[in-house]
Structure 1
């Protein structure tokens, strides 16, 4: 896995685009062809654009409107939406909270919602990180718009995971079956214009995502950069109508390094406020991630781990609020 450094130059490469409609609605051969293309993109780049993903435009537009309205609220109203318990990725996350010790903070603020659980399931899991009630602002329309996109993206992500499983020659539902009662979260992110000196922090520092996969929606402002295998940044500008999919650390471990969890960053040099909506797909907290479960990867180079413990350790490293 790449180290979290800052490659010094930009690459002329582009990340691939894949038409997902042929997997959703195509013949067996067309589905196999899409799975093969996803496999190749995950091996080389760890990122790809997903065209024709099936999520309605109005769901996306409504959620971006909700994000802009939320971050226009007075700060006390945003803070009132913080999670009621610690060690959560729900509710409001303040500007500069994402920061590794000794490094500049990320210049962003966010709002997260997680998978809503029934009362009995929540009672059984609430002692763990990530499992709590969602913390909503007073406007009920906000919740409706955000939840509608959350579930549409959740369904799309499950289809992508099925295509990935097909590409690895394992049961189609291998990953999805382990996503019951997940700690999957969707995040509305606000990036103010980039500070003139990058030493003061950038939108999102160079990092890898911790979970299985991430589905990402961006507004019209660019700034996402993906590290290539040669150590340069690949620009990943917004592509109208497309999602961006990237591999997370858990999937890299599970595939024994075959799928690449690529280092990426956000530099909002547009001069505008920038908004994005990623959904981070996670497993059940207790799911075991063991490379030996997936044939064809050779001798395991990663030990078996528990998904929730691995991801929560990453949060403790990366967030001031989790460390304190």
Structure 2
């Protein structure tokens, strides 16, 4: 049996109430047990994924001095390029063995948010890069909306509870390149153990070994998706909002065996964030005598800012 359960979004989107409820139950159980699920039936097709990988490989193959032109100071790495080793996990001083890019929200009909979010950065050398990134962003955002609708039902909320919070939300699409390892890393790994900041994360590129999840027994288990699956996990914002009913699981990306050090690894997580003024106050339905309220009230924007400082991306 796979450590991470699989579900099919087509069941939730069907007109069959039994299939729909089964999806909700299985998704909710997975997120209460391990915090991760592998999802089929999402809105990304194979051709789009292939185009995305082609474009991100083209970008990361550019000379370092060209990539660094797209590293924008003063915005906490929220858009454009973040160079190798710059990000570290919370509480860890060694930088992760990765470089990455950030596509951000494409705001529609909200001048306030358009002014609040940094602008997306256009890569002049690659005419298709930004268009492909935007298309993938939109398809993952659409997938995430239905996953959150299923979770809202599981939490006994209205199914559209999250819709207004994620419309024009501060979400991020992050193509990551883990370059070949040249020298023996002392303490660094490709991505040190961490929990995600956001509501949920949708990951493209968990088909090979590397991503590991800590289960309820404290054991590290491989989280491997099938080629047609996205790996989706709960982030700290949703865990906090539900008083830890839904679990934000610690995970990491380990270094490969030495005979594979010469290979690159690519993955593309989509971090689904709400708008900054969403209140992450613990839901009343997740508080009872056995589960007293564990967190102070905070907005999503304030929580994000705290975490970016902890990660070394903001001062």
Secondary structure, counterpart of 1:322 in structure 2 = coil
Query: Which residue matches 1:73?
Result: 62
Q: Pairwise mapping of residues 72-151 of structure 1 onto structure 2 (< 5 A)?
A: 72-83=61-72, 85-99=74-88, 103-117=93-107, 121=111, 125-126=115-116, 131-138=117-124, 139-151=126-138
Distance 1:236 1:101, change over 3 A: closer
Q: TM-score by structure 2 length?
A: 0.91
Q: TM-score by structure 1 length?
A: 0.88
Q: 5+ unaligned residues in a row in structure 2: which ranges?
A: none
Q: Residue 194 of structure 1 contacts residue 267 of structure 1 at CA under 8 Å; is this kept in 2?
A: no
Give the deviation of 1:64 after TM superposition.
1.1
Give the deviation of 1:292 after TM superposition.
3.2
Q: Residue 258 of structure 1 contacts residue 297 of structure 1 at CA under 8 Å; is this kept in 2?
A: no
Which whole-Å deviations, capped at 9, do the CAs of 1:271-319 have from their partners, x for residues lacking one? Answer: 31000000000010111011135x1442322222110110121111112
Distance (whole Å) between structure 2 residues aligned to residue 123 and residue 224 of structure 1: 34
> Of 180, 185, 209, which residue of structure 1 is paired with 2:196?
209
> Is 1:303 aligned with 2:296?
yes
Give the deviation of 1:192 after TM superposition.
1.6
Q: Residue 78 of structure 1 contacts residue 137 of structure 1 at CA under 8 Å; is this kept in 2?
A: no
Which whole-Å deviations, capped at 9, do the CAs of 1:157-193 have from their partners, x for residues lacking one? Answer: 1111001111111011111221233110000000023
Could you say what the CA RMSD is over the residues aligned between the two structures, in angstroms?
2.1
Distance (whole Å) between structure 2 residues aligned to residue 159 and residue 123 of structure 1: 23
Give the deviation of 1:206 after TM superposition.
0.3
Secondary structure, counterpart of 2:27 in structure 1 = helix
Distance (whole Å) between structure 2 residues aligned to residue 103 and residue 13 of structure 1: 33
Q: Residue 85 of structure 1 contacts residue 132 of structure 1 at CA under 8 Å; is this kept in 2?
A: no
Query: Which residue matches 1:29?
Result: 18
Give the deviation of 1:102 after TM superposition.
5.6
Q: 5+ unaligned residues in a row in structure 1: which ranges?
A: 1-11
Which whole-Å deviations, capped at 9, do the CAs of 1:101-129 have from their partners, x for residues lacking one? Answer: 66211000000010023697267743xxx
> Is 1:15 aligned with 2:8?
no
Distance 1:69 1:220, change over 3 A: farther
Q: Residue 35 of structure 1 contacts residue 166 of structure 1 at CA under 8 Å; is this kept in 2?
A: yes
Report the number of matched residues.
306
> Is 1:322 aligned with 2:311?
no
Q: Residue 206 of structure 2 contacts residue 230 of structure 2 at CA under 8 Å; is this kept in 1?
A: no
Distance (whole Å) between structure 2 residues aligned to residue 196 and residue 35 of structure 1: 46
Query: Which residue matches 2:153?
Result: 166
Give the deviation of 1:155 after TM superposition.
0.3
Distance (whole Å) between structure 1 residues aligned to residue 15 and residue 185 of structure 2: 46
Give the deviation of 1:88 after TM superposition.
4.2
Q: Residue 107 of structure 2 contacts residue 113 of structure 2 at CA under 8 Å; is this kept in 1?
A: no
